Chains A and B, each alone.
Chain A
Amino acid sequence: MQKTKSYLSDTVSRLKPSGIRRFFDLAASMEGVISLGVGEPDFITPWGVREACILSLEQGYTSYTANAGLLELRKEISDYLLRRFRVSYDPADELIVTVGASQALDVSLRAIVNPGDEVIVVEPSFVSYAPLVSLAGGVPIPVQTSGTYQFKLQPEQIEQVVTPKTKALIICSPNNPTGTVLNAEELAQIAHIVAKHDLLVISDEIYAELCYDEQYTSFPAIAHMRERTILINGFSKGFAMTGWRLGFIAAPKDLATAMLKIHQYTMMCAPTMAQYAAIEALRNGADDVERMKKSYRQRRNFFVQSLNELGLSCHMPGGAFYAFPSIQSTAMTSEQFAERLLLEEKVAVVPGNVFGASGEGYIRCSYASSLEQLQEAIRRMKRFLERL
């Protein structure tokens, strides 16, 4: 055992396993659990999209595509980005279709990080950012946003951690796990600091379609930011296509060309059948996206108001499908709360601390569950809190 471990690289040995894992094992072993721990839509991919994939298989489109993805798909992505987010990328050499937004992140970081470079990660954050920075040879530098500011990154927080080694900043709006959306003005303030310190921004906009209260602002749409932004998006959340593993990178030509080298050597191309499905999603999926978005918004309104009535104070998240309520009134840690809630009432939530230190005192609840499940979860949580 000791011997085989010695084969591992130092980087991998130092990598911490995801905190979500332990919870998953516990919850999966129990019956009758209502899970609010799921990070994906409860909708099945719209039938039109599935049908397009089946058709592509019937027609025999089963070979590799171009490394960057089908040109037809890249053209659709380019049109989509312009139409929805007013950002313009050339399908010929500024777009890469990837295996999910996760691979897009990996490729982006490996393309820009030199050993020892620092990358600022805004926490609470998606669990993969810091490990991916480490795997790319960089040093993740966490910045802790605070519940006091609804977990919005304050520009001065960047300045407090910037060093000559700082290479990039990863932002995610709407945010997983907090649901927080940064508006145009807030992004412009961040852009100002980014330009001042000559940083690159990796903007993870995977939840961009799920923004409920205001017009969404894409980071490269902010003045002068396009040239220093790697935009990451995909089909998983907005189009309910998580299992298809399809995302994309949009970046200025020089960056995209470099990233394509990595993508080409490690992945060859994204799955062909999923690419055909994505073409259909972009051409005819807008109504489905609207329908799902409306349903999420209604469930968000119900769930967040219900949480607040229970005494778990929670800001109204502007996007994604997560509520991030404070459990500090219970005097428990996030892990204690989540574990007891699971064991005693069979409701699975994710303890906030797995998303970074500033998530302590909070839990992540996904409201991408049926209304009946959400109603039942609230009843169980009420019972749980009354017993404390």
Chain B
Amino acid sequence: MKLTEKEIEIVELLEKDARLPMDTIAKMVSLSIPEVEQIIKKLEDAKVIVQYATIVDWRKVDGHEGVTAMIDVKVTPKRGVGFDEVAERIYRFPEVKSVYLMSGAYDLSVVIEGRSMSEIAHFVSEKLSTLDSVISTTTHFILKKYKHDGTVFEQGDQDRRIVVAP
């Protein structure tokens, strides 16, 4: 799908802040509010804009700190469907946050979130490893999130400029 420059600008603005008011977006890209609404509707219908989500720092919520792991998975691709079938079997689990097909030493990169390490260990040993096509798994637990999807969690950069300058 080919987008105009203004459509791309609108997508970029929403990607940074999905709650930006329509009239602000309209002014920023020099279009009318109905024009912007129409573009957004079009992009939503075409699933260019898939979803509006919120980035949450769960570590700050008591009892919701959670555990995230990245699992390298080696699989045997199947004739006709390649990696797609096993990928689908994996991503259907709600605790699986993302699944990517990778080049290099392993095939699928699976990101999983759970309440505890044992919950994740249980998922890997009981659900993931037991799939027919899965040859091996390597689980890496995430110790700390510094930056996630372009957002730095502990924002350190503040405005240090002097108040009035020529």
Residues of A within 8 A of B27 (CB): 301-302, 305-306
What string of 1s and 0s marks CB contacts (under 8 Å) between A17-36 and chain B? Answer: 01010011001100001010
Query: Known: A42-B159, A44-B157. Is A302-B28 also a contact (CB below 8 A)?
Result: yes
Interface residues of A in 298-356 (CB under 8 A from B): 298-299, 301-302, 305-306, 348, 350
Contact B165 A298 (CB under 8 A): no
Q: How many residues of A contact B (CB 8 A)?
A: 29
What string of 1s and 0s marks CB contacts (under 8 Å) between B152-165 and chain A? Answer: 00000101011111
Nearest chain B CB to A302 CB, angstrom units = 4
Nearest chain A CB to B30 CB, angstrom units = 5
Instruction: Name A348's contact: one of B28, B157, B163 (CB within 8 Å).
Output: B163
B82 part of interface (Cβ distance < 8 Å)? no
A39 part of interface (Cβ distance < 8 Å)? yes
Contact B162 A371 (CB under 8 A): no
Query: Known: A42-B159, A44-B157. Is A350-B28 also a contact (CB below 8 A)?
Result: no
Between A35, A176, A298, A305, the greatest number of chain B beta carbons within 10 A of the residue's beta carbon is seen for: A298
Contact B29 A298 (CB under 8 A): yes
Nearest chain B CB to A283 CB, angstrom units = 24
What residue in chain B is nearest A316 (Cβ atoms)? B30
Rounded to whole angstroms, the CA-CA distance of A39 and B9 in the bound complex is 26
Q: Mostly helix, strand, loop or mixed at chain B's interface?
A: loop
Instruction: Name A298's contact: one of B28, B162, B164 (CB within 8 Å).
Output: B28
Contact A18 B24 (CB under 8 A): no
Contact B161 A38 (CB under 8 A): yes
Nearest chain B CB to A165 CB, angstrom units = 28
Interface residues of A in 152-180 (CB under 8 A from B): 176
Contact A27 B163 (CB under 8 A): yes
Contact A37 B30 (CB under 8 A): no
B166 part of interface (Cβ distance < 8 Å)? yes
B70 part of interface (Cβ distance < 8 Å)? no
A128 part of interface (Cβ distance < 8 Å)? yes
Contact A35 B157 (CB under 8 A): no
Query: Known: A44-B157, A301-B29. Is A39-B165 also a contact (CB below 8 A)?
Result: yes
What string of 1s and 0s marks CB contacts (under 8 Å) between B102-139 and chain A? Answer: 00000000000000000000000000000000000000
Contact B28 A20 (CB under 8 A): no
Contact B161 A128 (CB under 8 A): no
Nearest chain B CB to A378 CB, angstrom units = 10
Contact A40 B28 (CB under 8 A): no
Nearest chain A CB to B161 CB, angstrom units = 5
Contact A126 B166 (CB under 8 A): yes
A257 part of interface (Cβ distance < 8 Å)? no
Between B28, B164, B166, the greatest number of chain A beta carbons within 10 A of the residue's beta carbon is seen for: B164
Residues of A within 8 A of B9 (CB): 294, 298
Nearest chain B CB to A338 CB, angstrom units = 10
Nearest chain B CB to A12 CB, angstrom units = 19
Residues of A within 8 A of B162 (CB): 24, 28, 38
Nearest chain A CB to B75 CB, angstrom units = 37
- Listed by A's residue number, 17 A-B pairs whose Cβ atoms lie within 8 Å are A20-B164, A23-B164, A24-B162, A27-B163, A27-B164, A35-B163, A35-B164, A37-B163, A37-B164, A37-B165, A38-B164, A40-B161, A176-B166, A298-B29, A302-B24, A302-B28, A306-B27
Beyond the given pairs A24-B165, A127-B166, A348-B163, 15 more chain A to chain B contacts, judged by CB atoms under 8 angstroms and listed by A's residue number, are A20-B164, A23-B164, A24-B162, A24-B163, A27-B164, A28-B162, A35-B164, A37-B165, A40-B161, A301-B28, A301-B30, A302-B27, A305-B30, A348-B164, A371-B24
A interface residue numbers (CB < 8 A to B): 18, 20, 23-24, 27-28, 33, 35, 37-40, 42, 44, 126-128, 176, 294, 298-299, 301-302, 305-306, 348, 350, 371, 375
Across the A-B interface, give the 8 residue pairs with the lowest CB-CB distance, nearest first: A37-B164, A24-B164, A298-B28, A302-B27, A39-B165, A27-B163, A305-B27, A302-B28
